[in-house]
Chain A
Amino acid sequence: MESTEPEPSDSRPEEEEEEEEEEEEEEEEEDGALLPPEQPLAAVEDCLAKKMEITVSEAEKRTGRNAMNIQETYTAYLIETRAVESQIEGQCAPVESLWRRYSEFELLRNYLSVTYPHIVVPPLPEKRLSADNMDPDFVERRRIGLENFLLRVASHPVLCQDKIFYAFLMQEGGWKEMVNETGFQLKADSRLKALNATFRVKNPDKRFTELKHYSDELQSVISHLLRVRARVADRLYGVYKVHGNYGRVFSEWSAIEKEMGDGLQSAGHHMDVYAASIDDILEEEEHYADQLKEYLFYAEALRAVCRKHELMQYDLEMAAQDLTSKKQQCEELATGTVRTFSLKGMTSKLFGQETPEQREAKIKVLEEQIREGEEQLKSKNLEGRDFVKSAWADIERFKEQKNHDLKEALISYAVMQISMCKKGIQVWTNAKECFSKM
């Protein structure tokens, strides 16, 4: 992948809604929707990606001591940035750079996921748990993946404005502390809570339920496709490489032939070329596979947004339920009727009624709680609706990006295959000519 940013899709809902960058805009309260404050959207031209060149240009092995004071080897990646200013007389702004390791990227992503739960946060290249994180091919592909991640974030209308992200790119020292100081870990929802909500929520927005199914399907089909693609690539490798044996044997055979010798020898050479050509072909295909893999991981990001919605919705439902039961209690106390079974009701029957003063006090407390509850419910409702609106906006943005990217990837795959065919035709045309001269 080159270091140009992935093209942001051309028509995005946010752009039509907001042209200004800075001010918070208060819309009319037709639907009570307020975009989250402090997060105005950047227009396309002002995304960080357009203002700054970002590359992850190198990878280096390092050794150091980790948190538990144990010696370890890890890879550090060099992030280089340069402001894109109008270039006068070929002058370039200076390149700034700093080193980051994978765990810092992870920290950044976690921070973004928690801070912007309504955004489909771009995924990181995979965390490989198997033997060789030092293998140069793996490191190279990870380097490209990390660069891609940064470019995706930098072209996102919301994420690109985040200060922590900016500091990640520009400020080597003290960045970790800065992130931790935001206290984002506290805001994170526990997995257990999220799982609970998923099972118990009664009325989630149908679109999110559908989106969740879609992301499951996407993940399943892409991982199946990648597996088979890898097997196909292995087989193709075998076919090509065995032809290399022809080269050697033809050459040896040509030594004992007079008339056939030249034809055999040169045909053998073409067989060698054929066998060698598969290496480049398969390397290109790996890039294609990585493009698909990104969307495999994006599926998880989609699911995260759906989970957040389910959580908020569940929270809302619980709050409403709680309010309803408090109101009922209040009514019962006020009118003295018991509509529902309650332990209190039973005990008061058994042990005698409370005094009117006690009852009054209780009612007062409940009324206060109800008032608070109603306030909370109102704001939760608003939050929920805001979330749905802004999440859905980002999801639409994501969908367009996905369709665009995948279509391009499929076209590039076809182009790759054509190029492979062309090479094959060339080699076999040459070989045929040699054979016909035997």
Chain B
Amino acid sequence: MEAEGRLLGPPLPAGGEGPGIESHLSEGALGTARGPLLAAAEVLALDDEEDDLEVFSKDTSLAEVNSFSPSVPISPSSMINQYKFEDGPELRDLFITVDDPESHITAIETFITYRVVTKTTRGEFDSSEYEVRRRYQDFLWLKSRLEEAHPTLIIPPLPEKFIMKGMVERFSDEFIETRRKALHKFLNRIADHPTLTFNEDFKIFLTAQAWELSSHKKQGPGLLSRMGQTVRAVASSVRGAVKNRPEMFTEMHNYMETFSQKINLLDKIAHRIYKEERDYFNEMKEYGPIHTLWSASEEDIADSLKGIASCIDRCCRATEKRMAGLSEHLLPILHEYVLYSEILMGVLKRRDQIQGELDSKVDALANKKTEKDQFSEEIGRLEDKVEHANNALKADWDRWKQNMQWDMRSTFTNVAENNLRYYEESQTRLHFQILLQKMPS
């Protein structure tokens, strides 16, 4: 049970399981800025200590809109612009938005709910429009249901539960906005998925009122059965499920190991770049005004000085925009794929486990000559299961890779465009300034 009020001091690592009541963190304690500039060699070496969590910390220098009512586009056409649909926009029949975070305070706890709006033309939905409120716990429930139903499909990542490593205020505007965007993405990726989009729990999640959802949740396999699965999974993974693994999945496994490593590095690099840009911005803010101050003691060169001051200010504003671009696009995408890499490793493991079940039964059959019929029926069932799992994973893997490629291409292109815009804006102002200088006064 959680007490009211806030804990002081560093957050205690909360236990992982269950419908956790999120613990309060000390308010207003933020990560400290990085220390003095590193030499070239140091800058190039990123190690595990570089846990930059700018995305989650309060940053008042950002020009981001205060996000208690974020301007999330509701209209379908603008949602289409947000990311690609494999089947083409005209085939889309389910549109979901997540917005309007609201704080709820009860005697026991404080939590945030988000509004989930669904618009659809599908026949299996009773209505064409739904509006419900969901909290993070509900999303967790949905994800675990999907994982159970489709163990070898790639279920999209959810934003993390806690941020353990920094002293971050859990309910900071920026944290909530980042989470909201990630939840929005989560639901839309499911809607996009050829199989998951028709999942019954997904439909209930989108349409049920709060009490309906609670009662439905209680019907599912409880905590115990999930734990049972975990135990079995661990047991079977120990027993060389790897040995009969088809070549294709070994390749996937190797790929994911490298991919996971690289994407984590990129995530760190991107955060570091963001931080460096912010530090640069902070110094630049002071740089321009000095020129203006100087111009006050001068006559002949006052105009030149003021001109340089305005160029520097323009550059400052352009830097702000560049930073905003990073935090809106690159950072969330890289983070999502960091989570994806964990998910994929998990999916590969589960596939191995399913195969492991079959293999162990086959081994057992080899030892027991009796009860052959019973066994062979079970083995047949398991063989089907393995084949189904493998096919599902293969298809989903291909789909995931395509999406990943598309996402990376568009995100990094966006980064390049941001930088181009930054340099072009700065350059324009400078050109103009030089023209002014050279004009006879």
Closest residue to B315 on the A side, CB-wise? A417
Complex Cα gap A425–B430 (Å): 14
Are A229 and B287 also in contact (CB < 8 A) when A410-B308, A418-B427 are?
A: yes
CB–CB B287/A232 < 8 A: yes
**From residue A44, how far is it (CB to closest CB) to chain B in Å?**
21
B280 touches which one: A222, A224, A235, A245 (CB < 8 A)?
A: A235
Are A414 and B433 also in contact (CB < 8 A) when A256-B258, A428-B423 are?
A: yes
CB–CB A238/B276 < 8 A: yes
Are A431 and B423 also in contact (CB < 8 A) when A232-B284, A242-B276 are?
A: no
Q: Please indicate the chain B residues that have their CB under 8 angstroms from the CB of A429 in the complex.
A: 416, 420
Closest residue to B265 on the A side, CB-wise? A249
CB–CB A414/B269 < 8 A: no
Complex Cα gap A229–B426 (Å): 17
Are A237 and B37 also in contact (CB < 8 A) when A410-B308, A418-B431 are?
A: yes
Most chain A beta-carbon contacts within 10 A, residue among B412, B415, B431: B412
CB–CB B280/A238 < 8 A: yes
CB–CB A438/B287 < 8 A: no
Residues 398 to 434 of chain B near chain A (Cβ within 8 Å): 405, 408-409, 412-413, 415-417, 419-420, 422-424, 426-427, 430-431, 433-434
In the assembled complex, B283 has its CB within 8 A of some CB on chain A = yes
Are A253 and B409 also in contact (CB < 8 A) when A232-B287, A239-B277, A421-B423 are?
A: no
Are A225 and B294 also in contact (CB < 8 A) when A239-B273, A411-B437 are?
A: yes
**From residue B363, how far is it (CB to closest CB) to chain A in Å?**
34
In the assembled complex, B53 has its CB within 8 A of some CB on chain A = no
Residues 373 to 424 of chain A near chain B (Cβ within 8 Å): 403, 406-407, 410-411, 413-415, 417-418, 421-422, 424
Q: Please indicate the chain B residues that have their CB under 8 angstroms from the CB of A432 in the complex.
A: 413, 416-417, 420
Q: Please indicate the chain A residues that have their CB under 8 angstroms from the CB of B269 in the complex.
A: 242, 245-246, 249
CB–CB A259/B405 < 8 A: yes
Complex Cα gap A238–B420 (Å): 19
B283 touches which one: A235, A259, A428, A436 (CB < 8 A)?
A: A235
CB–CB A431/B280 < 8 A: no
In the assembled complex, B255 has its CB within 8 A of some CB on chain A = yes
B262 touches which one: A221, A242, A252, A417 (CB < 8 A)?
A: A252
Complex Cα gap A246–B46 (Å): 11
In the assembled complex, A141 has its CB within 8 A of some CB on chain B = no
**From residue B254, how far is it (CB to closest CB) to chain A in Å?**
8
In the assembled complex, A267 has its CB within 8 A of some CB on chain B = yes
B437 touches which one: A229, A241, A410, A418 (CB < 8 A)?
A: A410
CB–CB B262/A410 < 8 A: no
**From residue B26, how far is it (CB to closest CB) to chain A in Å?**
30
Complex Cα gap A253–B258 (Å): 7
Complex Cα gap A415–B259 (Å): 43
Complex Cα gap A421–B423 (Å): 5
- The contact size tier of chain A is 35 or more
Closest residue to B288 on the A side, CB-wise? A228
In the assembled complex, B293 has its CB within 8 A of some CB on chain A = yes
Are A414 and B434 also in contact (CB < 8 A) when A236-B280, A407-B301, A421-B427 are?
A: yes
Q: Mark B277-295, 1 if CB is under 8 A from A, else 0.
A: 1011001101100110110
CB–CB B412/A267 < 8 A: yes
Q: Please indicate the chain A residues that have their CB under 8 angstroms from the CB of B258 in the complex.
A: 252-253, 255-256
Complex Cα gap A76–B308 (Å): 39
Q: Please indicate the chain A residues that have their CB under 8 angstroms from the CB of B38 in the complex.
A: 238
**From residue B260, how far is it (CB to closest CB) to chain A in Å?**
11
Q: Please indicate the chain B residues that have their CB under 8 angstroms from the CB of A244 in the complex.
A: 43-44
Q: Mark B183-224, 1 if CB is under 8 A from A, else 0.
A: 000000000000000000000000000000000000000000
In the assembled complex, A364 has its CB within 8 A of some CB on chain B = no
In the assembled complex, A217 has its CB within 8 A of some CB on chain B = yes
CB–CB A232/B283 < 8 A: yes
A410 touches which one: B286, B304, B409 (CB < 8 A)?
A: B304
Complex Cα gap A228–B438 (Å): 27
Complex Cα gap A229–B294 (Å): 14
Q: Please indicate the chain A residues that have their CB under 8 angstroms from the CB of B272 in the complex.
A: 242, 245
Complex Cα gap A260–B272 (Å): 24
Complex Cα gap A431–B38 (Å): 26
Are A428 and B301 also in contact (CB < 8 A) when A224-B290, A228-B287 are?
A: no
Most chain A beta-carbon contacts within 10 A, residue among B255, B284, B294, B415: B294
In the assembled complex, B108 has its CB within 8 A of some CB on chain A = no
Q: Mark A215-234, 1 if CB is under 8 A from B, else 0.
A: 00110011011001101101
In the assembled complex, B338 has its CB within 8 A of some CB on chain A = no
A421 touches which one: B266, B305, B430, B434 (CB < 8 A)?
A: B430
Q: Please indicate the chain B residues that have their CB under 8 angstroms from the CB of A256 in the complex.
A: 255, 258-259
CB–CB B300/A407 < 8 A: yes
CB–CB A435/B427 < 8 A: no
CB–CB A411/B423 < 8 A: no
Complex Cα gap A413–B288 (Å): 13
In the assembled complex, A109 has its CB within 8 A of some CB on chain B = no
**From residue B345, how far is it (CB to closest CB) to chain A in Å?**
15
Closest residue to A274 on the B side, CB-wise? B419
In the assembled complex, A138 has its CB within 8 A of some CB on chain B = no
CB–CB A225/B290 < 8 A: yes
In the assembled complex, A166 has its CB within 8 A of some CB on chain B = no
**From residue A303, how far is it (CB to closest CB) to chain B in Å?**
15
Q: Mark B39-68, 1 if CB is under 8 A from A, else 0.
A: 010011010000000000000000000000
Complex Cα gap A352–B380 (Å): 147
Complex Cα gap A228–B312 (Å): 13
Q: Please indicate the chain A residues that have their CB under 8 angstroms from the CB of B297 in the complex.
A: 214, 217-218, 221
Are A425 and B266 also in contact (CB < 8 A) when A237-B37, A260-B408 are?
A: no
B308 touches which one: A242, A414, A435 (CB < 8 A)?
A: A414
CB–CB A413/B37 < 8 A: no
**From residue B406, how far is it (CB to closest CB) to chain A in Å?**
9
Complex Cα gap A224–B438 (Å): 27
Q: Please indicate the chain A residues that have their CB under 8 angstroms from the CB of B287 in the complex.
A: 225, 228-229, 232
Q: Please indicate the chain A residues that have their CB under 8 angstroms from the CB of B382 in the complex.
A: none
In the assembled complex, A50 has its CB within 8 A of some CB on chain B = no
B37 touches which one: A229, A238, A243, A436 (CB < 8 A)?
A: A238
Q: Mark A39-60, 1 if CB is under 8 A from B, else 0.
A: 0000000000000000000000
Are A238 and B405 also in contact (CB < 8 A) when A228-B287, A414-B437 are?
A: no
In the assembled complex, B311 has its CB within 8 A of some CB on chain A = yes
**From residue B48, how far is it (CB to closest CB) to chain A in Å?**
15
**From residue A268, how far is it (CB to closest CB) to chain B in Å?**
11
What is the interface of chain A, defined by CB distance below 8 A to chain B?
214, 217-218, 221-222, 224-225, 228-229, 231-232, 234-239, 241-246, 248-249, 252-253, 255-256, 259-260, 263, 267, 403, 406-407, 410-411, 413-415, 417-418, 421-422, 424-425, 428-429, 431-432, 435-436, 438
Q: Can you spell out 18 A-B residue pairs with CB atoms less than 8 angstroms apart?
A: A221-B297, A235-B280, A235-B284, A236-B280, A238-B43, A239-B277, A241-B43, A244-B44, A245-B265, A246-B266, A403-B300, A414-B430, A414-B433, A417-B311, A417-B426, A421-B423, A421-B424, A436-B413
Instruction: Please name 14 further chain A to chain B contacts, defined as beta carbons within 8 Å, in addition to the given A228-B286, A232-B287, sorted by A numbering.
Output: A221-B290, A221-B294, A232-B283, A236-B280, A245-B44, A249-B262, A253-B266, A259-B405, A263-B409, A403-B301, A413-B308, A422-B427, A428-B416, A431-B416
Closest 9 A/B residue pairs (Cβ): A432-B416, A235-B280, A421-B427, A424-B423, A403-B300, A238-B276, A435-B412, A253-B262, A438-B409
What is the interface of chain B, defined by CB distance below 8 A to chain A?
37-38, 40, 43-44, 46, 255, 258-259, 262, 265-266, 269, 272-273, 276-277, 279-280, 283-284, 286-287, 290-291, 293-294, 297, 300-301, 304-305, 307-308, 311, 315, 405, 408-409, 412-413, 415-417, 419-420, 422-424, 426-427, 430-431, 433-434, 437-438
